[in-house]
């Protein structure tokens, strides 16, 4: 099948999921065309089955806001016509589902009919999409998709609660490709980051407010007061400077390493002992799943779709949002001795395997068949 995938090309979870899905579909023989404003960060392997089409938005001084949706829908029309694309799969409703619908309608004028699958990722619903300024357009474009998917049961429920959705929402969880992970961890260079007696604790995100970055630093402070440890902070975003300042104020600056955005997340996770994800909300928590795949237990909040990934008392622990005391207490329970830590590591890896792409890819292929039938 020839599929156009529309996504954000950034380090954010939805872009990562869309990119990994496209690569996996191409490996199964499908022809994938990514349509977005920059080559997606994890897309390194362009080949005869993986194409990238850049959406250009010319700057025009009259416009305070440049019309990206217009450029995207025009690019989709051209791409569908030129390459004979059979399916649109848009990730993140805003504005991709809206632009996708416009492209479909323009194509219909020329006698070309193409179904659209919309995958909801979270912030397009829970943070941005529900805003009254966007809500009618988001509701409309979700309802006009042939098939709608969401990455967790929790996100499905939030979407149904917040919008007037007439479509069935299919839950297709996020995934990881087990075959990409280096199971023997031989090149894990832990000594670069910490002394032998120190535990390594990691947080990876885009450092937005929703991630509760100060909580990460506060939890770590409570851990390091009891046991030797280092905190590795991976990512860039608006809350980073505040976190650096907080680490200094708490007197733990020398124990906290800020690495910025990194393409070496796998290497960092392979020597990590514990992952912190105290977010205000997460529709799924792909970062937690990636950590678990690397045998890293997770201390998280019990919000959104996280309980569908992190199993309390098994792969880590969950606490109420903002309860840094409980999170630090639970972290220390896991880190107290190697035997306990190893049990949690084994459990985390075992649970993560349930989300291996081999189990999830057929669900998306069925969704595409379903979308054809509905068109």
Among 158, 206, 272, 310, binds ligand GMT (CB under 6 A): 206
175 touches ligand GMT (CB under 6 A): no
Positions of E strands within the chain: 2-6, 31-36, 50-54, 87-91, 116-120, 147-150, 169-171, 199-204, 229-234, 256-260, 274-277, 298-301, 316-319
Among 275, 284, 364, 368, binds ligand GMT (CB under 6 A): 284
121 touches ligand GMT (CB under 6 A): yes
- Closest approach of Cβ 302 to ligand GMT, in Å? 14
- Closest approach of Cβ 340 to ligand GMT, in Å? 27
210 touches ligand GMT (CB under 6 A): yes
303 touches ligand GMT (CB under 6 A): no
283 touches ligand GMT (CB under 6 A): yes
Among 73, 123, 303, 319, binds ligand GMT (CB under 6 A): 123
Burial of residue 131 (CB within 10 Å: 0-12, 13-18, 19+) is exposed
Among 151, 172, 334, 367, binds ligand GMT (CB under 6 A): 151
Q: In angstroms, rounded to a whole number, what is the distance separating the alpha carbons of residues 174 and 254? A: 35
As given in the structure block, the two tokens for residue 321 are 């949002």
As given in the structure block, the two tokens for residue 43 are 């897309």
158 touches ligand GMT (CB under 6 A): no
As given in the structure block, the two tokens for residue 233 are 């902070």
- Closest approach of Cβ 108 to ligand GMT, in Å? 30
Q: In angstroms, rounded to a whole number, what is the distance separating the alpha carbons of residues 119 and 130? A: 16
Positions of E strands within 160-228: 169-171, 199-204
Among 159, 174, 202, 310, binds ligand GMT (CB under 6 A): 174
Closest to 177 (Cα-Cα) out of 294, 340, 297: 294
Only one of the segments 68-76, 157-165, 283-291, 350-358 lies at the binding site for ligand GMT (rule: CB under 6 A); that segment is 283-291
Place of tokens 């897309």: 43
Closer to ligand GMT by Cβ: residue 134 or 329:
134
What does DSSP assign to residue 287?
H
Show the binding pattern over residues 84-103: x = contacts ligand GMT (CB under 6 A), - = does not: --------x-----------
3-state helix, strand, coil in the chain (%, to 5): 45, 20, 40
The residues of the shown chain that bind ligand GMT, judged by CB under 6 A, are 12-15, 17, 92, 121-123, 151, 174, 205-206, 210, 281-286
């Amino acid at each position: 099948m020839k599929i156009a995938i529309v996504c954000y090309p950034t380090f954010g979870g939805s872009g990562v999921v869309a990119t990994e899905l496209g690569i996996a579909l191409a490996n199964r023989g499908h022809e994938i065309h990514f349509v977005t404003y920059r080559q997606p960060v994890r897309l390194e392997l362009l080949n005869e089955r993986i194409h990238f089409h850049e959406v250009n938005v010319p700057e025009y001084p009259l416009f305070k806001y440049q019309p990206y949706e217009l450029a995207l829908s025009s690019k989709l029309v051209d791409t569908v016509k030129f390459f004979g694309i059979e399916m649109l799969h848009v990730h993140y409703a805003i504005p991709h589902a809206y632009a996708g619908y416009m492209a479909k309608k323009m194509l219909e004028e020329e006698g070309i009919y193409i179904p659209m699958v919309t995958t909801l990722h979270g912030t397009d619903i829970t943070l941005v999409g529900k805003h009254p300024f966007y809500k009618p357009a988001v509701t409309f474009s979700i309802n006009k998709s042939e098939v709608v998917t969401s990455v967790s049961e929790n996100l499905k429920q939030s979407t149904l609660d917040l919008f007037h959705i007439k479509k069935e929402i299919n839950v297709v969880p996020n995934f990881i490709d087990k075959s990409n992970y280096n199971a023997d961890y031989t090149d894990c260079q832990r000594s670069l980051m910490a002394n032998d007696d120190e535990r390594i604790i990691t947080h990876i995100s885009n450092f937005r407010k929703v991630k509760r970055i100060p909580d990460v630093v506060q939890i770590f402070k409570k851990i390091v007061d009891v046991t030797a440890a280092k905190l590795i902070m991976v990512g860039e975003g608006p809350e980073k400077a505040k976190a650096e300042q907080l680490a200094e104020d708490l007197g733990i600056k020398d124990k906290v390493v800020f690495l910025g955005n990194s393409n070496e997340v796998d290497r960092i996770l392979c020597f990590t002992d514990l992952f912190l994800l105290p977010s205000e909300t997460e529709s799924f928590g792909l970062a937690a799943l990636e950590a678990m795949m690397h045998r890293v237990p997770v201390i998280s909040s019990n919000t959104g779709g996280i309980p569908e990934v992190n199993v309390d008392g098994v792969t880590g622990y969950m606490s109420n949002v903002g309860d840094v005391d409980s999170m630090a207490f639970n972290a220390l329970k896991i880190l107290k001795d190697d035997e306990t830590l190893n049990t949690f590591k084994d459990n985390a890896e075992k649970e993560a395997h349930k989300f291996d792409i081999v189990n999830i890819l057929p669900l998306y292929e069925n969704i595409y068949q379903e979308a054809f039938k509905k068109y």
